[in-house]
Amino acid sequence: MHSSSKKAPHSGRLSLLWPLLLALVGACQPAPEATTEVEETAVTVATSCGDKGYLSTQLYGGIAREISWNAGELSCESMIRPDGRGMRLRITGDVAGNQLAIILALPELQRGSTGTESPTVVTLTVEGSGRFFSTPTLEACWSDIAAQDSIGDGDDRFDISGVLYCVAPLGEINGDAAISIPRLEFRGIIDWSTT
């Protein structure tokens, strides 16, 4: 009789612990949704310049470096210029462990258009360092836009490619250095719906 009275409370405690143990084991299992979200985010970042995006140039002066970024090594952002004229394309990639951003402002660019000798304001920044370089005048650089093709029907996103030429160096805004970019080839994505 003594042993049967001990078994009853013990089995009652086990029956209460089972749901708690099962809940703990379930909480340790990875959530499948999280894996899917991470994969989707990675794809978005890798294709922000399009599958064929690239930037190729040789920098001289304050930052002397050959750059050859492909689609998996760079990111693109775009916006319509504040005055509503033209477009800005910002291309970012890694240079010697630093994030370098090159911004091409094209005030005469129109949706879907191509053309030669389009005036271009160029700004180059080393992110997190406070170093900014920019063209002295609108006549210092120009771009030949070879293509600007719509990505989809009724879409505001366009695949743009071209070549930038600069005949004057980009002066450092808060210093006395300068960078020369004689030629820069690029391809990326611009979105005419962004402001």
Whether residue 16 sits in one domain with residue 92: no
The model's pLDDT over 39-58, given as tens digits with 9 standing for 90+, comes to 332 323 335 899 999 999 99
Which of 49, 69, 47, 73 has its CA nearest to residue 59? 69
Torsion of CA 123, 129, 130, 132, to 10 degrees: -20
Residue 32's pLDDT band (cuts 50, 70, 90) = very low
Give the range of the structural domain holding residue 92, as residue numbers without chain letter.
48-191
* Residue 119 CB partners (closer than 8 Å, separation 6+): 106, 107, 108, 138, 139, 141, 142
Tell me if 164 sits within 8 A of 104, measured CB to CB: yes
So what's the pLDDT on residue 40?
A: 30
Whether residue 177 sits in one domain with residue 136: yes
Tell me if 102 sits within 8 A of 69, measured CB to CB: no
Whether residue 126 sits in one domain with residue 173: yes
Rounded mean pLDDT of 17-34?
A: 40
Whether residue 57 sits in one domain with residue 23: no
Whether residue 53 sits in one domain with residue 20: no
pLDDT at 1 exceeding the cut of 60: no
Whether residue 33 sits in one domain with residue 98: no
pLDDT at 171 exceeding the cut of 70: yes
Whether residue 93 sits in one domain with residue 61: yes
Per-residue burial over 169-183, b if 16 or more Cβ lie within 10 Å, else e, is bbbbeeeeebbbbee
pLDDT at 144 exceeding the cut of 50: yes
Tell me if 89 sits within 8 A of 97, measured CB to CB: no
Whether residue 53 sits in one domain with residue 27: no
Provide the number of structural domains found in the chain.
Answer: 2
Rounded mean pLDDT of 145-158?
A: 90
So what's the pLDDT on residue 195?
A: 67
Distance CA 189, CA 99 (A): 19
The model's pLDDT over 57-89, given as tens digits with 9 standing for 90+, comes to 999 999 999 999 999 999 999 999 988 889 999
Distance CA 194, CA 77 (A): 9
* Residue 129 CB partners (closer than 8 Å, separation 6+): 98
So what's the pLDDT on residue 44?
A: 30
Which of 150, 151, 146 has its CA nearest to residue 163? 146
> DSSP code of 29?
S
Whether residue 164 sits in one domain with residue 128: yes
